[in-house]
Structure 1
Amino acid sequence: MIKVQLIAITIVALLSLNATAGEKPNIVLLFADDAGYGDFGFHGSHHFKTPNLDQLAKSGVRLTSFYVTGATCGPSRAGMLSGKCQQRFGFEEINVPGIMSDHSKLLGDEMGLPTQLPTMADHLQDLGYRTAVFGKWHMGVADRYHPLKRGFDEFYGFRGGARSFFAYPDPNRAKRENLMERGFEGFKEHEGYLTNVLADEACDFIQRSQDKPFFVYLSFSAVHTPMQADPQDKDTFSELNGTRRIAAQMMLSMDRACGQVLDKLKELGLSDNTLVVFSNDNGGPMDKNGSSNFPLSGVKATQLEGGLRVPGLVAWPGKLPAGVDYELPLSTLDLLPTFVAAGGGDPSVIEGLDGVDMLPYLRGGNKGRPHQTLCWKMETRGAIRDGDWKLLRFPDRPAELFDIVKDPGEQNDLAADNPELVKTLFKKLFAWELELQRPLFMLRREEEGWSSRRADEFRSPPAETY
């Protein structure tokens, strides 16, 4: 009789565990590269077409003050994947190998996301998730930084920061970090247009992973250079010219790829139990890929809004409201704790996180500010947003102060009218910087270029007709 009771209890427990596992949402992170803030239909673009992402915006929450942790690709992704300001562990000033070949020669394998830091994939694995990353990695090219050693069960993509959207005709002449790789050292060039291939791979993973909760990090290289459009879109956007036209075509391909993934979730009946996030790693560089950050000033690698504020969409049917805007500041730092909380974990026990669980705020249960203060730093430049005020600190001229809610284009400098507030924000920024580690990789100005250029060059937003 006792054995029967024990068996019955065991069965109930197993059923309970299975039910709990079934309630965990799948998580899909769709992540663009170097996209312009104004180049999305849901942000009012007149020419770029993003119908699938526009529909995602209607089905979820649009984050209108969503920030990255850094204005360039590598540091931004390091902060997002770790849930910590990347300056806390010295990943501050430059991109890892794959972009700056001289740095690669100088520092070799030393550049990458420090291996002692768990990633969002590590945390989700601990919660029972099957994890995969497709596309751009950019967190270090050495084997010890490989995605399969950083919490991901599957990887198909490239270790570096950018590559051709088409297969290299002679892979032996390409850099190792730019080659397509399946798993660990399964180097073989893809067939077809890269954006489409990544969508196919993500959909295949989703198809194979329905038996347990999964996390997909679909890390597009679009619309980063090189400017190469899908041949099937060659006749589109005839009203645009040059790089601007190619950027619109590349954006269309990326939107179509996002739609393919969303359609796969719907086809498999997984949409209602999947948390989907779309965002971008930094502002558009404009002069390199023809992007537009309208109505924001600034570009990639500057700490103006156009370098730091990015699109943000969060959709979870039945768990989050649909078709609404959330206007208070949030950050890509918040993705890790949000994913952990959605997966049944407790982000409060993770040491040193700088982000917060977004879900109570997006649901309306918490009416407070997720972040009173957000800070950014690159070399001696710094920026701080405290409430509705934003201070920009420069090494070669006086600080600038903006009411960022009334003046998101940062056109009206109010520093001279508010000297005490400027002093207070300087102190807050300095206090934050005292918590940081020295940069692991030092910037060479002649390679990065941006740090020696005045913010004034990017002050005026591009024409709205974009």
Structure 2
Amino acid sequence: MMYKKVLLLCLFLAVAFGYGQAKEQPNIIFILADDAGYADFGFQGSTEFKTPNLDKLAKSGIRFTQAYTSAAVCGPSRAGLLTGMYQQRFGYEENNVPGYMSASGIMGDEMGLPLDQTTIAEKLKEQGYKTALFGKWHMGNADKFHPTKRGFDVFYGFRGGSRSYMPYDENNPTDRNENRLEEGFGNFLEHEGYLTDVLASKANSFIQKNKENPFFIYLSFNAVHTPMQATAADLAKFPNLEGKRKTLAAMTLAMDRAIGQLLKEVKANGLMKNTLIVFSNDNGGPSDSNNANNSPLSGTKANHLEGGIRVPFIMMHEGTLPKNRTYDYPISFLDLFPTFLKAANDKVNLPSYLDGVDLMPYVLGQKQDRPHQTLYWKKENRAAIRDGDLKLIRFPDRPAELYNIANDIAEVNDLATKHPEKVRELYKKLFAWELTLERPLWQLKRVYEGKAAERMDAFRKPKINN
């Protein structure tokens, strides 16, 4: 009898103090904005826009000052984060709008995330997670690419790259299924109210139903992508702004409010200490189409200046990560896959093909070096490489440019003529990387490459003449 009492006491203490117990799997919530400006958040320094919930999230966790997407436009950057690989390695080029494609490759609804690629949602399902996507997919319109066939148990959103924030007319044949709201697979139904609010509400319902088990939420807002649509109540909160800038501020406020409702739901269910939360944006802000502010960066969406590829980024895990800190080494969207998978199970072996790294040892101070010595970008014949703090941008129709990002964040002091040896060195390294890539599955019509250059030049900061 005494032996049984001692054994029961030992078992009780083991449970009470976690001895011999597997680490509790954290819930994972990844929140992604669409086409937001680098400077259009309070935690990024904006005094015009109101983002109190994201500002609080930043103070509760870590703000990354040099976070990069793997592409300057949304489809490819999402392909990179979902697979943990440079998307060019499986032919997913840095172009994503079917109507602008060359006839030499895959076109229309056949464009999508190749079926032989594994997503982070599929990997998390293997670890026992319930997975959900709310909002924008943009990884292929055809049924074979559907989120519920790529690892997501639950889907509420739209298959395409953008859509109205207001309900579509279900009787209008021009409103294709790729743009309509869909719940599950093939169940197309339009929402009521403002879409940004609806997406957060659906995410909250998912939390309520799945709070007893580990879950992964990919909350993929279409905010603040065009069309420029905001409610009258939100517009009224920015009397000092006008035009697109006013509408963008109102749309950003609505997104921040929706995120606040999500965070409130996590807290109300007692899940805050067991939930890893990440917020970011899919590419640089398209200043010409929505008046986004990428200051102090040069450039805009669709080019390889910092304003096209550097994005706001917050990571918070209450009780695990430090509060109100910044992390200043470059990181990549490619790091999300291994970071999430290791958070789900720190004993799991990461796939050898990944280009990203688990960020946790770095942000916790267990590793002091850079997560990445070198990062790459490629869009048709345009490409860029960042090696340490030096960044080379290659063009098909003009000389390459070289910048020291550590002391020239605005990329105004071109060092290419002063350091031709560095230009040659980085060219060679970039070429070597390109040799590892697959042939693009689709390509942009050449006429649009010239427009990309015009867009880049229009949003540069004034250059220093050497």
* TM-score where L is the length of structure 2: 0.92
Q: How many residue pairs are counted as aligned between the two chains?
A: 449
Q: How is 1:327-342 mapped onto 2 (pairs within 5 angstroms)?
A: 327-342=328-343
Which residue matches 1:144? 144
Q: Does the residue aligned with 2:298 lie in a helix, a strand or coil? A: coil
C-alpha distance in structure 2 between counterparts of 1:422 and 1:449, whole Å: 23
Which residue matches 2:91? 90
Which residue matches 1:319? 320
C-alpha distance in structure 2 between counterparts of 1:277 and 1:121, whole Å: 15
Q: How is 1:242-391 mapped onto 2 (pairs within 5 angstroms)?
A: 242-345=243-346, 348-391=349-392
Q: Mean alpha-carbon deviation: is it higher for 384-393 or for 449-458?
A: 449-458
C-alpha distance in structure 2 between counterparts of 1:247 and 1:372, whole Å: 36
Which residue matches 1:114? 114
C-alpha distance in structure 1 between counterparts of 2:225 and 2:329, whole Å: 28
Which residue matches 1:180? 181
Aligned partners of 1:96 and 1:112 also within 8 Å: no
Q: Does the residue aligned with 1:27 lie in a helix, a strand or coil? A: strand
Post-superposition offset of 1:92: 1.0
AA in 1 matched with 2:36? A
Q: Does the residue aligned with 1:277 lie in a helix, a strand or coil? A: strand
Which residue matches 2:461? 460
C-alpha distance in structure 1 between counterparts of 2:260 and 2:451, whole Å: 34
AA in 1 matched with 2:121? A
C-alpha distance in structure 1 between counterparts of 2:208 and 2:222, whole Å: 23
AA in 2 matched with 1:380? N
C-alpha distance in structure 1 between counterparts of 2:366 and 2:51, whole Å: 31
Post-superposition offset of 1:96: 5.0
Post-superposition offset of 1:458: 1.9
AA in 1 matched with 2:147? P
Q: How is 1:431-450 mapped onto 2 (pairs within 5 angstroms)?
A: 431-446=432-447, 450=451
Aligned partners of 1:96 and 1:138 also within 8 Å: no
AA in 1 matched with 2:402? L
C-alpha distance in structure 1 between counterparts of 2:288 and 2:405, whole Å: 25
Post-superposition offset of 1:397: 1.1
Unmatched runs of 5 consecutive residues or more in structure 1: 462-466
Aligned partners of 1:109 and 1:141 also within 8 Å: yes
* TM-score where L is the length of structure 1: 0.92
Is 2:162 aligned against 1:157?
no
Post-superposition offset of 1:231: 3.2
Post-superposition offset of 1:416: 1.1
Query: Structure 1 residues 259, 100: closer, same or farther in 2, change over 3 A?
Result: farther
C-alpha distance in structure 1 between counterparts of 2:97 and 2:388, whole Å: 33
Identity %: 57
Query: Structure 1 residues 407, 171: closer, same or farther in 2, change over 3 A?
Result: farther
Which residue matches 2:53? 52
Post-superposition offset of 1:405: 1.1
Post-superposition offset of 1:456: 2.9
Q: CA RMSD in A?
A: 2.3
C-alpha distance in structure 1 between counterparts of 2:370 and 2:389, whole Å: 11
Which residue matches 1:464? none
Post-superposition offset of 1:447: 5.4
Q: Does the residue aligned with 1:383 lie in a helix, a strand or coil? A: strand
Post-superposition offset of 1:359: 0.3
Deviations 1:256-300 (Å, cap 9, x if unpaired)? 111111110111110010000000100000110110001100000
Which residue matches 2:70? 69
